[in-house]
Amino acid sequence: MKKMLSFLGFSELSEEKLNHQIDNYTTLKIHQSFRGRAVLINLVLLLMATIGTIVTSSADYATITIFTILAIVHYLIFLSISVFAYKGRRWAIILLMILWTAERLIQLPSENSVFIYISIFWLLFILSQFYKALQVENERKRRQLFSPNMPAATIAPQPQSPQQFSVNPKRKVLGIILMTAGLLIALVLIMVAKNSKTSTINNQTNGPTPRIKPSSIPEQKVDPVAIEAYETLPESAVKISEYLGIPIYETDVKKLSQTELATIVKVLDGIPAGYVEKTNPKAFVASTRKASGDIAIENMGTVAAYAKGPNIYILEETFTGWKLFNSSGQQMSFGQIKSTLIHELMHVAQYNAVPKQKLGTPLDPMVFSTLVSDFASKVGYVPYSDKYSDLGWKSKILEKDTETTEYGRGNVVEDQAESVAAFITGHVESIGQSRIDWVSAWLGIQPEVFSQGVVPKFHPDYKTRVENLIIPTKDLPQDKFSEYQNKFTNVEIFGWSVLPSIDDSAPKFTPPDLTQYYERVLPERGWIGGKFTSIESKLVGGEIAGEWSYQDKKKAYIFFRNHVGGSVGIYVIEGSN
């Protein structure tokens, strides 16, 4: 045990070091004395933590003000105690040791494993410095009891004479008792905080959904100004279309081309109608990152679209991709656009589940979303509140979490949106089972609908939709479908099917469930066709596909493309005039 304590820096000072510190107590520079070193390290670490708290606080002015005031007050309290510690007051040294221990322990539950190790290292380091300073002060006190005027060397401790140190063991025992009491107090505070938070979540619920409702944040009335800030459209917004009851706007900074507009419509067609109803978006608005008025959105190079309140903002990057990583100018694939908009629709659903009176608080309103809370509690997150009453959900193994996408590891809000997007686009292999179960229960749809070849139903107004998607043959490109997809919008992804295997011997592009489905359903929809065979087409190329005709003037090609986790059934309509 002694070796371990010595290794951690908690060793007994030698007689020589004690004499040097005591004999030169008033002449040693601050960095030469043990108490001075401890105080300096203490203040430097606190200053770094204070600056970090202020810099990393929210961009919201009110939040910055609150965080700044609390951080400065926290620093001043420690600074005042440190002054007494440097003057040799043992109570101040012991109090700082207790405060550092309690503060680190309270913060551990809200930190990931990497920062836990760092916190423990710095805690042991600062405690070892204060322990050395405390040994010096204890020895000074002991010598004063023997003879205030006697030189230090004349009453130096003698290891072979335990009786001479009758005071020292008592002091050591007292220090140990105080430190132990500090640790127990810290642990009690942690237990109280955890139980209080758990009780809050379990008792304050809206139906089956747990809600965070901290006592430190008073209930507020609905703030019309706060709601207006989230929901008001840009002044230049002009409605240009509407689909499924959702108006589509463009602004003076971003106009939508017919291709872009058709892509938005196609995304809405290709996702479950129930999902659109559940998310309940107010509008799609074409805009730019700069016009968002949000510093984070404006400067973040990976924003392809964003949700603000109940509205989804469509950007140039929605179609062109992230310019920071896409210098070649390659267009976003339809699958990427679809996944992006499904993701943003989920943010709208999260917003709609936030109690409106919480929109006026300086905290992130998504913290109070009952939808986020329900998801978080079901997939393994734990609630936390740090010393500044900043609330949120933390994964116990967030930095090692392989049950969500890389982007979803950022926080529970993004995790939920990523999980829903992965589920609907058929990428359930990228999320964990608990997330699959939650999304499936929330949507009321089994994952097999998107990942095992069960094709969603055709649009109710099928005939009108088919006729509107016709492109004259003369306008069709003379290349492969992969390039055609980037230029035109009459491609519909109706479903997914898992291939038997991914090796070269596996049959490709002919999943029996999808082929049988199309062969059965298309005649019911007015198409005349045959079987799936190997055909040559300027759209499809030499792949396995089915060729169908509609009213003798239109053709449809149905074929299958390999994709992550399975293959995609593609439905292409070609005019004949």
**How confident is the model at residue 551, as a pLDDT?**
65
487-542 tens-digit pLDDT: 333 333 333 333 333 333 333 334 445 566 667 767 776 777 766 665 554 444 43
Is the distance from CB of 284 to CB of 264 less than 8 angstroms?
Answer: yes
Q: Do both 158 and 238 map to the same domain?
A: no
Q: Do both 179 and 146 map to the same domain?
A: yes
Is the distance from CB of 480 to CB of 536 less than 8 angstroms?
Answer: no
Segments in the chain below pLDDT 50: 1, 57-64, 112-114, 152-167, 183, 186-218, 323-329, 386-390, 396, 398-399, 451-462, 465-512, 537-543, 561-568, 576-577
Q: Do both 123 and 236 map to the same domain?
A: no
Residue 244 covered by a domain: yes
Q: Do both 403 and 473 map to the same domain?
A: no
Q: Do both 28 and 141 map to the same domain?
A: yes
Q: Do both 338 and 311 map to the same domain?
A: yes
Q: Do both 427 and 542 map to the same domain?
A: no
Residue 262 sits in a domain whose CATH number is 3.40.390
**How confident is the model at residue 469, as a pLDDT?**
44
Q: Do both 346 and 382 map to the same domain?
A: yes
Please count the structural domains in the chain.
3
DSSP E strand boundaries for 396-486: none
252-294 tens-digit pLDDT: 999 998 888 888 888 887 777 788 889 999 999 998 877 877 6
Q: Do both 197 and 242 map to the same domain?
A: no
Q: Which of 447, 480, 498 is the last residue of a domain?
A: 447
Backbone φ and ψ of 393, nearest 5°: -120, 140
**How confident is the model at residue 499, as a pLDDT?**
32
**How confident is the model at residue 471, as a pLDDT?**
41
Is the distance from CB of 404 to CB of 240 less than 8 angstroms?
Answer: no
Q: Which of 414, 447, 480 is the last residue of a domain?
A: 447
Residue with tokens 């009459």: 490
Is the distance from CB of 537 to CB of 477 less than 8 angstroms?
Answer: no
Q: Do both 425 and 493 map to the same domain?
A: no
Residue 206 covered by a domain: no
Residue 454 covered by a domain: no
**How confident is the model at residue 342, as a pLDDT?**
92
**How confident is the model at residue 286, as a pLDDT?**
92
**DSSP secondary-structure letter at 254?**
B
Q: Which long-range contacts (CB under 8 A, 24 or more apart) does 152-161 make?
A: 152/19, 152/22, 152/23, 153/19, 153/23, 156/15, 156/18, 156/19, 157/15, 157/18
Q: Do both 367 and 496 map to the same domain?
A: no
Residue 216 covered by a domain: no
**How confident is the model at residue 280, as a pLDDT?**
92
Residue 453 covered by a domain: no
**How confident is the model at residue 15, as a pLDDT?**
83
Q: Which of 447, 479, 499 is the last residue of a domain?
A: 447
- Cβ atoms < 10 Å from Cβ of 470: 17
Q: Which domain holds residue 547?
A: 462-575
**How confident is the model at residue 555, as a pLDDT?**
67
Is the distance from CB of 339 to CB of 419 less than 8 angstroms?
Answer: no
Residue 452 covered by a domain: no
Residue 120 covered by a domain: yes
**DSSP assignment of 498-547, as one string?**
--S-SSTTS--S--HHHHHHHHHHHHHTT-EEEEEEEE--TTT-SEEEEE
Residue 45 covered by a domain: yes
**DSSP secondary-structure letter at 453?**
S
351 exposure class (CB count in 10 Å sphere: 0-12, 13-18, 19+): buried
Report the candidate in 312, 328, 166 with the shortest Cα–Cα distance to residue 237: 312
264 exposure class (CB count in 10 Å sphere: 0-12, 13-18, 19+): buried
Q: Do both 228 and 299 map to the same domain?
A: yes
